[in-house]
Amino acid sequence: MRSFVFVLAACGSSAKPAAPISSRAPAETAPPLATDAPTDCSSHTEDSKPGNHDRFSFETPDGLYGYKDRKGNVVITPTLRFAYEFKPGGIAAVVDANAQFAFIDTSGKRIARAFGFDNGPDYFQEGFARIVDDNQRIGFISDRGVILAQLAPRFEKADSFCGGKAKVMERGTVFFVDRTGAPTDPPLGASLKFESDYVD
């Protein structure tokens, strides 16, 4: 069971942070999302309704998880330590055989390693969840499994999307990005502290 910690932070300086240091190509178009992205900054747990994309998670007697279709046929072999239900966009959070948090597609193929948050894979917020690479750099995946080049893991720190923007840090510089990964103005009165800065 996940525990919830609510943090109230005073608004910081409204000064515009420095532009990011990046030599990447211009931003792509924002990926389509499976559901309308809310603007209330609330997270969406991984407990989706069973049966999206005709996939139902199940547990074997020895404690491994996989997926069956509605006819009872095994469509993803039970090799997982835990399997959340598929989201409408065709992506599911899992704990893989190596005890890593991950996102998979409807064939069982691993799309990305999920950022660990609140004792599990990161929640989707405004249609995006955080992912990490082997160097612990953070990026974002959409609820349809799309990872734009500008949102691929490259950040040292990153908070969830809120109001269409996410606070990130790249090469020590804190700034905000939009759904394409392009730098954008910070929200009025935005704090430059990250969620992780408030954890002891």
Sorted by where each starts, the structural domains of the chain and their CATH numbers stand as 52-155 (2.40.128)
Q: What is the pLDDT of residue 33?
A: 80
Model confidence band, residue 5 (pLDDT cutoffs 50, 70, 90): very low
> pLDDT by residue (tens digit) across 63-76?
999 999 999 999 99
pLDDT, tens digit, for every residue of 103-116?
999 999 999 999 99
Q: Is the pLDDT of residue 12 over 70?
A: no
Q: Considering the chain, what is the average pLDDT of its residues?
A: 84
CA of 194: how far to CAs of 29, 39, 89, 159, 197, in Å?
26, 19, 28, 6, 5
Find, among 67, 73, 71, 111, the residue nearest to 89 by Cα.
111
- Those residues whose C-beta lies under 8 Å from the C-beta of residue 133, and which sit 6 or more positions away, are 113, 139, 153
Sequence length of the chain is 200
pLDDT over threshold 80, residue 10: no
pTM for the whole structure: 0.80
pLDDT tens column, 127-162: 999 999 999 999 999 999 999 999 999 999 999 999
What per-residue confidence (pLDDT) applies to 16? Answer: 43
- At residue 36, the pLDDT reads 60
Among residues 91, 93, 92, 109, the alpha carbon closest in space to that of 101 is found at 93
